[in-house]
A = this chain, B = another copy of it.
Amino acid sequence: MNNFNFHVSTEILFGKGRINELPKVLKKYGKNVLLVYGGKSIKVNKIYNKINELLTSFNIYELSGVEPNPRIESVRDGVKICKENKIDVILAVGGGSVIDCAKVTACGAFYNGDAWDIVKQTFKPEKAIPIVTVLTLAATGSEMNSSAVITNFETNEKLGVTIPITLPKTSILDPTYLFTLPAIQTAAGTADIMSHIFEVYFNNSKTAFVTDRFCESLLKTCIKYLPIALKEPDNYEARSNLMWAGSLAINGLCACGKFDESWSCHPIEHQLSAYYDITHGTGLAILTPHWMRYILSEKTVDKFDEYAKNVWNLPENKDKMFLANQAIDLTEQFFKKCGIPMTLSELGIDDSKFEIMAQKAVKARNLQNAYIPLKEDDIIQIFKNSL
């Protein structure tokens, strides 16, 4: 195993009804709360009302309308509210977009320049307003890590940044909040979870046995429970396993002892989202099988063979390449059966921006340092195969 740090101090309150502990949790930080949320979904599912009922003794300010690919404009709005109202704590209620927006807002409150500098990492924040989250979508894992992804549509940039001081203090994970999700969000969210695992599972490290088995545990959880959650949206067992898997997939646990290699599908997908504003998880589901086929070779076949046997329970076969291809096909069929559109064409994306997106992907994260290094031409080919 390679050397690693693991330090995830977020307090997780998991289960039905845990929202009732919110006043006690927030009280530690102060009276002035910035409530950050997206659209109307938290009003439809009544979390919004519940929170307002619970927090009558707090002063609540609101930043609403945070977009699925959260924009720097929302962050700027949030920063303004924080500065004007001496916000003590940010309460992010939603999925990864809302939480990511809260994270950069929390730092922007102590910075006099433009918040985009934080995302571009030209300003390194040293102070942040504490963040508490109430999760309503199992996908990005933002509730238990310190990363945020923000989009600037003026420059067509979707960039990720990791700021340890923004790690949520407490996250409330109530699986019943997932019951009312649209099917496509459940499916795309799970594709995002699986992609987080793939990004570290497929890695040149060969000695992090315990970590690889953890990765497989989470992948098997997704494969078992996504179809159940789609068929029975209020199946608590399915929702709770998916929700906890989402947090564990990207809180660092799945990377312990592995090489610190650049991710592959995420930086490529970020270009699709930045140019076409598509659902992140959908983009990942489309790209993943094509990326897998593209990098499958004598060099990587052992890892895919492990994936085939340990995740898909395929029987031992001397022809590892056959097994590997079977596993990749199963991955693709799984996403398709779960209702995710599996071609770029279905999303209205053509080849007109493949070159600029490939250029930006290589630049955004050093893809030369990925599991299998990728250059612009490689990415263009993966895009073409995904059409």
Oligomeric state, in copies? 2
A237 at interface (Cβ–Cβ under 8 A)?
A: yes
Q: Is there contact, CB below 8 Å, between A7 and B14?
A: no
Q: Is there contact, CB below 8 Å, between A12 and B5?
A: yes
Instruction: Report if A210-B241 is in contact (Cβ < 8 Å); known contacts: A1-B15, A14-B256, A257-B14.
Output: yes
Interface residues of A in 9-31 (CB under 8 A from B): 9-18
A213 at interface (Cβ–Cβ under 8 A)?
A: yes
A2 at interface (Cβ–Cβ under 8 A)?
A: yes
6 tightest A-B CB contacts, nearest first: A3-B15, A213-B217, A9-B9, A1-B240, A7-B11, A6-B12
A207 at interface (Cβ–Cβ under 8 A)?
A: yes
| Residues on the B chain within 8 Å of A240, using CB | 1, 207, 257
27 A–B contacts, CB within 8 A, in A order: A1-B14, A1-B15, A1-B236, A3-B14, A3-B16, A5-B11, A5-B12, A5-B13, A7-B9, A7-B10, A7-B11, A7-B12, A207-B236, A207-B237, A207-B240, A208-B241, A209-B221, A209-B225, A210-B217, A210-B241, A210-B244, A210-B245, A210-B248, A211-B244, A213-B218, A213-B221, A214-B217
A224 at interface (Cβ–Cβ under 8 A)?
A: yes
Instruction: Report if A18-B3 is in contact (Cβ < 8 Å); known contacts: A210-B221, A210-B241, A213-B220.
Output: yes
Question: Least Cβ distance of A126 to chain B in Å?
Answer: 16
| Residues on the B chain within 8 Å of A256, using CB | 14, 244
Complex partner residue of A244 from B216, B244, B245, B257, CB under 8 angstroms = B257
In this complex, what residue of B is CB-closest to A206? B237
| Residues on the B chain within 8 Å of A6, using CB | 11-12, 14
Question: Least Cβ distance of A352 to chain B in Å?
Answer: 42
| Residues on the B chain within 8 Å of A18, using CB | 3
Complex partner residue of A4 from B2, B5, B15, B217, CB under 8 angstroms = B15
| Residues on the B chain within 8 Å of A9, using CB | 7-9
Instruction: Please encode chain A, from 190 to 224, with 1 for each CB lying within 8 Å of some chain B CB and 0 for all others.
Output: 00000000000000000111110110111011001
Known: A3-B18, A6-B12. 13 other contacts (CB 8 A): A1-B241, A4-B15, A5-B11, A8-B9, A14-B256, A14-B257, A207-B240, A209-B237, A210-B217, A210-B218, A210-B248, A211-B244, A213-B218
